[in-house]
Amino acid sequence: MAKKAKTSDVNRILRLLRKQYPDAECALNYETPVQLLVATILSAQCTDERVNIVTAELFRRYPTAADLARAPLRSLEKLVKSAGFYRNKAKNIKGCCTALVERYDGKVPQDLEALVELPGVGRKTANVVLGTAFGLATGVVVDTHVSRISRRLGLTRQKDPVKIERDLMEQLPRKEWVMYSHRVIHHGRQVCKARKAGCENCKLKDVCPRIGV
């Protein structure tokens, strides 16, 4: 079993992140839980900036689950093409929204197991929606930033997102699960980047073991 970080170090990391990024939030633009779900499906292997460009027109034309379920697949493909993997994403969006209409009256269920049964929805997407739209801490969102920085901080030695999430859930207080991801994603974009860690400007440098840097 991998050695876990000291509780005192974990708490210090959380305090420093909270101080540095007090208002961190999801970078995806949305007005409803359905729109956040669709935007998160689109965000796979795509930047949030590109997703926001795509969804501006997508949600203008098809703002609700019912609208997206009825939308012609060709129309959805055209609208989401620049987000990459557009055929699969369009198919998943239509299938997901059709299921929402048929099973949940067009609403997003506030339940992890129900969400991951929807087309195109995995645990990460479900955690994003439940944590961001509903404030429900069902897990820790592990994207590339959270994966990289959690390893550098010594909170995990794993590379598999499911195993990383398990390590983080064991060490972080449940009340911190949602905001930890938001704050670490901001930190990854601004300071602790993949190619250059930016340690000289990092507020966490005194508590970070810089594993792999």
Which listed residue (9, 67, 111, 143) is catalytic?
A: 143
- Report the C-alpha gap between 44 and 93 in whole angstroms: 13
**Is residue 124 flagged as an active site residue?**
yes
Q: Which residue has the tokens 């993997």?
A: 85
From 72, 59, 66, select the one nearest 106 (Cα to Cα).
66
In the chain, how many H helices and how many E strands?
A: 11, 0
- Is residue 3 annotated as part of the catalytic site, yes or no? no
Closest alpha carbon to 121 in 194, 73, 138 = 138
Residue 130 CB contacts under 8 Å (≥ 6 apart), including other chains: 110, 112, 115, 136, 138
How many Cβ atoms from other residues are within 10 Å of residue 175's Cβ? 10
- Among 89, 94, 124, 167, the one annotated catalytic: 124
Q: Which residue has the tokens 């506030």?
A: 110
Contact 188, 145 (CB under 8 A): yes
Catalytic residues: 124, 143
